[in-house]
Structure 1
């Protein structure tokens, strides 16, 4: 997915504003298994996925708990670092070789201070990320594992073929054995 498409899907921008952002973006290529963001570190960049898939996880008693997958068109950022310039909660790992657009948060902050349209775009980016977080939280609290799996199949069926089932099980909050049983039932 091209960067202009990604930026516009967050919120409409004029061509001059898009160009202003694009001029500060770099396209990078990183191999599978790269750790893009580290928990407990301040992240200084925001990424947008051109190609590939990533996962976000946190550690609980030494066990990795996957709570988000990102794919083409998604943004990758630590909200804690982005908003408060504090260490992140999550680790982001590349599950495939990835092509990512990267921009410094400091560049975005400068645009927010000098360009109202880009500032509103940045607000929309944060709002979208907040809604995604709320949806994950509510789903985890109110839906059964079977319902969460069915929703995943409807919203992102290709994910099952692109991600290790152990990560999918962790994302759903169940064991891999339970995931196998659910898959057999469906």
Structure 2
């Protein structure tokens, strides 16, 4: 991870949270003091299996994926890009060691909040509880999409579902091997399907 030399310079996350629900001046001040910025080089591991991830990240620019290793294969389970929040769910919310890896797919710039500061916000600022509920709803919607995707038996229909329900501009940015893994499609099948749709 490449730390930001001036962590208070770009408090992107404050603007992001305020767009979800209006923040009080006190919460803005608290976040301005606690939020840190960082960046990751392309293909850098952000969090590894066996670690406790205690940071909630917001992507300002870039792309990350979550994956686990089965035998020797990497299985991509999610892909996030700009204006999306990511963390290890079990690590951040349960303080447990994660079974997944998180990796940047591009040079990626983030703001993040540590768990203790996130918890303080929930306990002391009512608007943060509203934001938390809205973010949880969004997470469950995305989780529901992943469940649907996993149950679609046809590879072409899985790709169509993904393209319909994600930001179309990110498709070409995702390395084909990771997109194929996410969609449970062989890379050569994905290449053929993408050619048919271009």
Structure 1 equivalent of residue 172 of structure 2 = 161
CA shift in 2, pair 1:35/1:72, >3 Å: same
Residues 22-41 of structure 1 aligned to structure 2 (within 5 Å) = 22-41=32-51
Partner of 1:170: 181
Structure 1 pair 82/13, CA: closer, same or farther in 2 (3 Å)? Answer: farther
CA distance 1:177–1:49, shift in 2 (3 Å): same
8 Å Cα contact 2:149-2:162 kept in structure 1: no
Instruction: Write the distance in 2 (CA, Å) between the matches of 1:75 and 1:42.
Output: 17
Over 3 Å counting, the alpha-carbon distance change for 1:128 and 1:157 in structure 2 is: closer
- Structure-2 separation of matches of 1:166 and 1:83: 30
Q: What secondary structure does 1:107 align onto?
A: helix
Shift of 1:112: 1.1
Of residues 42, 47, 51, the one that matches 2:61 is 51
The within-5 A match list for 1:37-186 is 37-142=47-152, 144-154=154-164, 155-186=166-197
C-alpha spacing 1:2/1:144, structure 2 compared with 1 (3 Å): farther
Unaligned runs of 5+ in 1: none
Gaps of 5+ in 2: 1-10
Deviation at 1:83, TM superposition (A): 2.0
TM normalised by structure 1 equals 0.89
Q: 2:125, 2:23 → 1: CA distance?
A: 11
Question: Which has the higher mean CA deviation after the structures are superposed, 22-31 or 49-58?
Answer: 22-31
